Amino acid sequence: MEKYQKMIYDRIRKTMRQWNEEEEIRENELYRFFHNIKGTAGTIGMQEVHDIAAVQLDSLEEGSESYWSREEWRRAMVPLLPYVDDPEQEETLMEEVGSVQEPSEDTPLLLIIDDDVEFVTYLKDLVEGSGYQALVAMNGEKGVELYYELNPRMLILDYNLPDTDGLKILQQIMDKAKQDFTPVVMLSGEAGTEAKIRSYELGASDFISKPINHRLFFPFIQNRLDTQERIWQSSLQDELTGAKNRKFLDGELEALNYKLGRGDGGGFTLILCDLDHFKKINDNFGHTAGDRALRHFVKTVMSFIRPGDTTARYGGEEFALVLPESSEENALQVIERIQQALKDHPVPDYPEVELRFSAGIRAVTESGTSAERLLEEADRAMYAAKHQGRDRAVLFHEGLSAVKETALLHVIIVDDDDVVREMMEQYMKRRQEIGGHPVRFHSYPDGRAFVEDDWYREGDYYFLLLDGMMPRMDGLEVLQHLRLHYSTDRILVSMLTARKGEKDIARALQLGADDYMAKPFRVREVFARMERLVKRVF
């Protein structure tokens, strides 16, 4: 069998090199290539190659005379790269589809909720190879958690899931999706007309049948994201809470700065507020309670500010107050009244929810400081308030510049391969920080050594790279231990696996892994993905 498998690999390499000389190829050539690969690979026991070819064939037409550009056919070839063993060829294809380029911080994040391991790994590769970021959830519960935590730009949702169905997920997240203008795309290989009708009635943006045609799928994604962006740009209000949004806030700070520079104003005060332990409200009482708490906070704030003041939603549970013609003392009085009102009047329908917040105050008496800098300085003061025990306000001064950096990020790799550990360590020596956090690197040769070590420090953040297969205690056992004994809001876990199609991926995602990466991998890509997740979550 090794002889015939080598012939398959040679055929893939030869075809890629031949097509690299062409600007474009016909679709029927692609069809014949994958058709031949599928038949031969299945015959000689190369099941994964057979499955990849089968998926690609579903989006190709045998008799089509249409032409595929170099970028399009190379994207179709990406899933075969692990079987080529041709570094030069791999580098050429990966550079063409852009997957080795580190996406910027604002690269759109797509969330895929689907329990078909082969399909989601295939789709995740295609999505990330087309310049987007992708995360995967294998069941509805994990999917809803990631949706609320990470606010993806688009949700791709399978109609049938192991723990629920797509319609129930739609009902749980649709209010937020509508408020954020998030496109929700339903996928199914079997759903009939009634299921599609019901999905549209509940608010799904689109319903796509499996198998997908990837040539149509990515222009479709970009179309929906462009529409979402236009809607965002046309709106200045946060629909969930009724507060103004970040765009309005930036404009207001610039306008007040301009008036101050002209001598047409007596200064203003910026207050940045962050609800304390907000994730625990969602975890303990549900996301409906969390949404209700956000609205209650804004309603309470608005009852204590003047008509010319601004309340804006700055982030998930962060809010900004802008008080023109107001001093630090006035700002402190406003905050105290709001804090007392929240203690006296609990969240409607959730009297057991204790809503508290930490605040940073930045008084502005001179023009010339940008809105971004003002927000950063108010943010430092707010973190100082959290550092001092929460439920309090702190005035900004220059000595607070390093307060936010007190929370370390610990990057921990648990892998029995000493070569992998050494590569990671050498790369980390060149990194002083990730996502704004100073970094400490740790490595362990197996799961038992990690679990038995005194590795956890309250208040720090952690990113774990866990090998799936290890002696003594494998990655899945470590993952179960983490989720059982530690708070999940400060620990991110990415599984390392040697085979994309193995069942361990599904199990890891079901146990709460935040991401997975397939071996072999580029160290630079590992840390690029790590940095994006750290920035989004921490």
On whether the CB atoms of residues 328 and 394 are closer than 8 A, the answer is: no
- What's the token pair of residue 223? 């179309």
Which one from 317, 318, 377, 531 is the annotated catalytic residue?
317
Catalytic residue flag (residue 317): yes
| Residue 237 identity | Q
> What SS3 state is found at 327?
coil
Distance CA 94, CA 75 (A): 9
Distance CA 463, CA 526 (A): 12
On whether the CB atoms of residues 536 and 500 are closer than 8 A, the answer is: no
| Residue 293 identity | A
Distance CA 374, CA 353 (A): 32
CA atoms within 13 A on the CB side of 456: 11
Distance CA 82, CA 36 (A): 19
CA atoms within 13 A on the CB side of 275: 25
- Note every long-range contact of 453-461, with CB atoms under 8 Å and residues 24 or more positions apart, other chains counting: 455/410, 455/412, 456/486, 457/408, 457/410, 459/406, 459/407, 460/407, 460/408, 460/409, 460/410, 460/490, 461/407, 461/408, 461/409, 461/410, 461/437, 461/490, 461/491, 461/492, 461/534, 461/538
Known catalytic residues are: 317
